[in-house]
Amino acid sequence: MTVRQQLPGRASKRLVRPDDHLGDGRPHVPAPRRPEPAAAGPAEPGRSATPRVSVVVPARNEARNLELVLPALAAQPSVSEVVVVDGGSVDGTLDTAARVMPGATLVTQTRRGKGNALACGFAAVTGDVIVMFDADGSADPGEIPAFVAALVAGADVAKGSRFARGGGSDDITALRRYGNAGLNAVANGLFGTAYSDLCYGYNAFWTDVVPTLDLPPTATPDRGGPIAWGDGFEIETILTCRVAAAGLRVTEVASVERARMHGETNLRTFADGARVLRTLAAERRRAHGLGAGCRGTEGGRKILRDG
């Protein structure tokens, strides 16, 4: 179920539901909106120098946090649209979102897991740029302009990093820090990249990048059992690997991760770490099967540091 609430003072727009599909059963994903090239500015042809920014917020039992997170997003002049994706919450998450931000787009994900939630959110956006934003209060909305600036400057993807100069974390434990460093080293070795932070979910990219990510179709029903591959917390790793395999231009943006405001994390350190490691191996095989260039700067890919 998807509910679209009109943004104040804006014309109503049709929401493409995650379960919409074409006649042959394939999920319908709207073609990326390609604005006319800006008259000036560094944006690539077909991309706006002043893009509309859509923020996708996956949420599961995050009602208390959304009371604070959504007003903070609404206060950002650069944000044009907020899409809240509910993952079967029992605490009134969607009701809270509708009350706190009447102009938000509200989506119920089609299966379980953060990956599916994000895919459903990506299918619902209408903006030129997508920002992935956690609902727990750990991300700073004030950093969104830096991500957008990196994209307008020429990046396809702006990847948040807690370990780039100027970044940091008030939340990561020593165990998770060491685990992330190990997984990061494996990813860089497999894909020839120079990422400083593999397992961080604060990222932004142009909407026209979504087809390249080749995420699992949202229309496929949940058949129970373990969370389907690509639907879980491995989603950030999948996105990172597929961006690298596609040779897209990436700019790292320093980000400070704050502590969760309320509630308990849905992360499971060892289980999710093992899943990420399996994901890296699977994505390397996938890239090899596609014949993707995954070494050095093949395909024009560059890993840059913002600032």
**What values do phi and psi take at 180, rounded to 5?**
-65, -40
14 within domain boundaries: no
Which residues, other chains included, contact 20 with Cβ-Cβ below 8 Å and sequence gap of 6+? 27, 28, 219
23 within domain boundaries: no
- Which is more confident, 265 or 100? 100
pTM, full prediction? 0.80
pLDDT at 5 over 80: no
The structural domain count of the chain equals 1
pLDDT at 231 over 70: yes
For residues 128 and 151, is the Cβ–Cβ distance under 8 A?
no
The residue among 138, 125, 156 whose CA lies nearest residue 32 is: 125
pLDDT of residue 265: 57
Mean pLDDT to the nearest integer, 228-244: 92
pLDDT at 24 over 50: no
pLDDT of residue 216: 94
247 within domain boundaries: yes
Q: 203-206 and 79-86 as β-strands: parallel, antiparallel, unpaired?
A: unpaired
Mean pLDDT to the nearest integer, 165-179: 80
Mean pLDDT to the nearest integer, 115-125: 98
E strand segments, the chain: 2-4, 53-59, 79-86, 105-108, 129-132, 157-161, 168-169, 203-206, 250-254, 256-257, 303-305
As a whole number, the mean pLDDT across the chain is 82
Q: Please tell me the distance from the alpha carbon of residue 198 to that of residue 159, in angstroms, as a whole number.
A: 9
pLDDT of residue 85: 98
Q: How confident is the model at residue 34 (pLDDT cuts 50, 70, 90)?
A: very low
DSSP 145-202: HHHHHHHHTT-SEEEEESSSTT-EESS--HHHHHHHHHHHHHHHHHHT---S-SS---
12 within domain boundaries: no
53 within domain boundaries: yes
Mean pLDDT to the nearest integer, 212-223: 95
pLDDT of residue 111: 97
Mean pLDDT to the nearest integer, 98-127: 97
Q: Please tell me the distance from the alpha carbon of residue 80 to that of residue 53, in angstroms, as a whole number.
A: 5
CA-CA-CA-CA torsion sign (64, 105, 121, 47)? negative
Mean pLDDT to the nearest integer, 204-224: 96
31 within domain boundaries: no
Per residue in 283-304, pLDDT (tens digit) is: 999 998 887 654 332 333 444 5
Q: Please tell me the distance from the alpha carbon of residue 8 to that of residue 102, in angstroms, as a whole number.
A: 8
135 within domain boundaries: yes
CATH number for position 109: 3.90.550.10
Range of the domain at 230: 46-219+226-305
The rounded percent of the chain whose pLDDT value lies above 70 is 77
pLDDT of residue 7: 37
The residue among 122, 228, 236 whose CA lies nearest residue 180 is: 236
pLDDT of residue 43: 61
Per residue in 74-90, pLDDT (tens digit) is: 999 999 999 999 999 99
Per residue in 238-269, pLDDT (tens digit) is: 999 999 999 999 999 999 999 888 766 555 55
- Which is more confident, 171 or 305? 171
Q: How confident is the model at residue 46 (pLDDT cuts 50, 70, 90)?
A: confident
For residues 70 and 261, is the Cβ–Cβ distance under 8 A?
no
1 within domain boundaries: no
